[in-house]
Structure 1
Amino acid sequence: MLAADLEYFQDVQNAYAALTNLHCIITDKQGNPITQLNNDPNVFHLVYDQETFKEVLNQWTRDFSKINSAIVYDALPGVKVIICPISIQGEIEFFIFAGCLLESTSKNTVQTYFEKILQNPEKANAIFTLIQEYSPDEIQAKLRKINKMAEVLIEHLATQNMKAHLVEQEENLGELLHLIADGNIKVTAVLERFLHENTKLDFVGYARKKGHDQFVIDECILPEVSSTLKGTVFSMGEGTLGQAAATRIVRFWDHMDMDPRNLFFQQKGIYPKSLFCFPIILEKEVIGIFFGGSSQFVRLENDISRVGKLTSSLIKVIEGNRFWQKQSKNNLMKMTALNEIFQVMTDVEDVKRILLIMLDLSINLIRGPFVAVIAKQSSRNSYEMVSRGLTADQIENYSSDISNRYFHNKQNKRFYHQQPVEHITSWSSKVLEIPIAYRTECFGFLSIGLSEQMLKEDELSFLMSLTIAGGVSMHLLEATTKVKMGQTVIDLLIEHQEYIDPDHFKQATKARELIKGFSGFSTYGKINTIAVKYSCYFIKYDEQFLTNKIKNDLIIDIVREYKLVADSKLEFSQASLNVQVLSLVWTYINEDENIDFLLKINGMNLPLLNEFLAYLSHTTVVESEIMVTNKPTANEPKISKHLKLSKREIEVMELVLKGNNNREIAERLYISEHTVKNHMTNIFQKLAVNDRSQAIAKIYQMGLEPEDVS
């Protein structure tokens, strides 16, 4: 077990020991302690000496190796201990021991018994000073809490195992991509790795298409079976493999033992109860079937769906290499370029470089009117686009069009599973849009301007493989960036906070969404949206704890500075923009979304506050527009209609909303400061407010924005 896990186990044990008022210890499945007893003096050490206690723990773990949940056990006559297993995938890995306790009214009787047995009244009295009496209901309540403790630890271990598995998969993926780029890998190697990483499977294989509608199993890995499927032939639509080829749909079967189609495998001495098939499609044709199975009843769709899709994509690339090697010299040169680009892209540390590589390769292949590559920036709500053959106006129109159709359209959330689609641009040109995707995330599009001459099938296949390389490369780049930020530890701390402080977790999640929306709305200044969003969850953590855990100086600095502002040790206006936004959002949430409190913050940055209030007003207006049918008359100032201000009062209020003071307003309108004060007095009366800050708040509360006074 990792040191971090031991520390986490100890922290959880200490927390639940305090919660239950019991003495606790956690051991491995052999009874060897992995945590320290949490109280001193400890009742266990008073009852047993050091060596005897170890022997007792060893014996208890042997005796209770088959239990499924916490039990109450009479460790000694009348003295009870709670024993709870910690199981991973049905196997006990650890035990929790919590004690000691007595049933109500039995303490005097049991203590008298122990005084006789121990022949030492003082020691018996010391022991029973630490042991409390509980009613049966109270004992059951403690039993449930110890069960909950086990659930917390099981969830932590499952998360750690999942993340470790994902890291291993990413490492294997990177290695496979380099091997593919070098041309030094075959389908067999991919199958062997896949079988090794997915231990629930007993065999995997690959069938290639031969002739018009027949397939031959060319690759088959069966470590535990003497026979083999290699060389077996089946037709399109025949059996499970043939059906997957005919339907072109990924298929999973969970109860194959009684299925007549299983005869295909049984004749070869293979008896799968669970089976999967991934059709490999190239040039709009099924060129092969990637399949595998288990002799156990396993929900393969849950276990291998995602990694199976990735593996089938890798096989597709390898098989694509085989296809292109059979083509002319020109196609062979294109294939070499694709192999090289895999290697180059996976080494690139900048998204724009990846886009430029894809652009250059596409231009050299396609002699169309234009080529463009657009990608969504993962760290902010913006897009990067490179192109050749487009004017500045066309670039602006097309980037806006494609982002609205896909990235901002919830109905198209899963569009990247589709084949490339044709689209007509605003200037009436035909364009082919090919998604750049990886797993369930789309990073962007490769857009090819089409001329009267259609793309050849081998050209389209090359472009689709190019987008696969681009999607994988962008994913690896994004994953590397997250690792650099300590993302894994950050995610674990956030998940842990959801358990220990769910109320703060909910508020922090709300603050995160406000910051995300405001950062995309605001033009006041640039903030580090990712760092500020994560800081929402960590403002209650101790600074030294964060320094030791997340290793992210920016988040730590934001949290430290935020606490100084919150404790009035640093004026709001002197804080960084990251901290000003964080403080603004948290004040808004903590004060039940009453914007009047924002105006009372010492040293408030009024331009920033105006933008935040405008954002809140904007989101409210967007929701209300669905219900409104009568729009205001064009060119009619909304503020005049609602509040009946004079023309000059409107001009004054417009400058107030822009952050001008009385002197600046007087200079802008060529009037005296005294006249400005008179106008402000009239405005306060009409708005029914007492000061300038309340007037600003009133405007935004009514759903009006600065442009409404123009």
Structure 2
Amino acid sequence: MSLNRAIVETILNLYSERLGLTLYVVNRSGKPVVEPIGIDEMFHELVRRSDAKTEQDFAHYIHDYQFPDRVTAFDFIPGLFSFVRPFSMGNYILFAGTAAEPDVKKKLPEVLRQRYGDGRWETLTAATADWTDDQERRWTSELERAALLLEQSAGGQLPLINSMEGREPDRTAFLQRASGAGSVFDFAGIAEEIDDDLFSITDVQGTAAALAESRFRSGEGFLGRALLGKHESIWEHVQADSRGSLFREKGIDAAYLYCCPITHRDGSPLLFFAGTETSAPSSAAGEQGRLLASMLGTSELLASLKLENEAYRVQLHSLMDLCMTMTYAGDVRKIMYMLVDIGLQLTESTFSYMFVQSPLTGRMQLVSRGRQQPLLEQYAKEAAGRYFHADGYAGTLPSVQLMQDGSAVIECPFLHRGELIGVYGVDGGSLVGEELEKLLAFLQSLSVLGAISLQRAMQRWDDVEEQVITVLESAAAEFDPDARTRSALLTRTADRVLSVMDVPEETVHTVLTVCRLSSYSSLYLSTVLKTRETADAAGEARQLFLYPESWRSASTAAKLIALLFAFAEEEDSTAAKELGIDPELTELFCGIVENHVFQEAEFELDGKQEEAESFSILDADLPLSPREKEVLDQLVKGSTNKEIAGTLFISDHTVKNHITKIFQKLNVADRAQAISKVYQLIYQR
């Protein structure tokens, strides 16, 4: 049996992305089927090395070890683990990545150097995944699935795997092959949720084609029962069971049924099912069903990951590149031209514009591109009147307005600390539904970062470095709420500690800057910040976590940063003490954080406490149904979709549908905007 190189690459790409391990397939002679695939640099380094010792080690594993037909973890060297899984009757071997025991990471570089000679062993060890029991279980489970796919690709299932390649798998072709010649199944199908716990068979191939468009609820019959659990279900003698009524009603004499719930790329549940008529299949039917469900599920997951990752990366990189450029530009007109230009690029629209009010003259500055300029200029003047009217501007969120000729305009106010800086607009006529929502969300993020750059340019700030730091801090908070929370905790703690300690002003600035930019790597900071102190201190601090004994050569700023990061993990000084660096500084640090606990409160001078006015979303005048108000009430409280589903006793998919409708009715693009709108209602009462 031979392996198809393209199929092997598809499978290895999928699982290396999911596991964060490098995967490598060789034949029994040690010749690679494909080059190693993945981001595990340690494994790449060991495979790439051409010295005799490395080749001798790999030959030893391939020829001398009798690995069982399951995923096995073994010590590549003491403390450094890899996985191995023979398949296709032992003709091929799947190697998977490296992971290191946390306790031996300190000694590992020297062991590697002694065994394989000089190399970047400290850096490679630091980047190697930690070996834990939970990780081992996860890796083992996923690699068994990868080996099953590789096994089937070598065992005649190439057409099936081919049909599931790509971002948009051909489900019909997949089901036809799953139930066609050479398969143990007579029919195969997929059911999707179309409403709250209501499912429809959207595609079915083989002898059960009559089931197409049939509907059932969760818990109803064999198919509904299979959806109640998150694992596969197998039934025999289906024709004699009352739960098989759906099949009998359609004239299908089902004898055996395999069902497995999987997850659609949008997070909603799918049900894959396959079965036989008249007679029970061979004992391999369960394994075949498991393979098919695994292929369908992994295909959906890969498509989801690719779509989410690509969209996020493009959006984040676009924003960051633009904002960094605007920050260094330092000129209002240059920034306006950049914004107008990116507006046309983003939407492929016919026009884009930006107007701001000069803080010196009070006059409006307008920059625009595209469309008939007189019409656009007239509209911009009217919009400026609405926003900069003496009674206040029209709103704080992006909104859709109409021009004189009836075409749609997406307007986005730029505010900085409550002050209206200007208004940005793009042609929104060709965007509807989800695409329009995505653009509104993007513009909301852009407005936060763009307003900072414009405000600083208007004030002619000379400290460009501070501008960059502020923009980076705002970008991290905008895209990652957890980063904002972590950064806020680090900064508050640093302020508390540094206000008591006697350290130079330069050290204070460096420590606070690293805390504000805690979600960025030291390598990235070294590329965007002109001064090296911040990046160097961040890099030194991270090294202290790997090699605490090196604290004697570290700067005071780096040691304080390391202590702050350790403390922030659990908000407990124990972690800082266990780091094991500079006993004197650690004792001083822990004494401060343990004895300086701050609380905030508001009170009246006469001693009377004013009770906050109660406000219930359920009683609010909102264009929402009672159930949608309940969902919004939970959303404002910070509940996740899963928590909302549990509180209201509805499915996760139903929660997603309600939130989508809430966003549409409130004319908002995401949770942040929805919550912001609720708070506006509270303060406008």
Bucket of the pairwise TM-score, normalised by the shorter protein: 0.3 to 0.5
Larger-Rg structure? 1
TM-score by length of 2: 0.37
TM-score by length of 1: 0.36
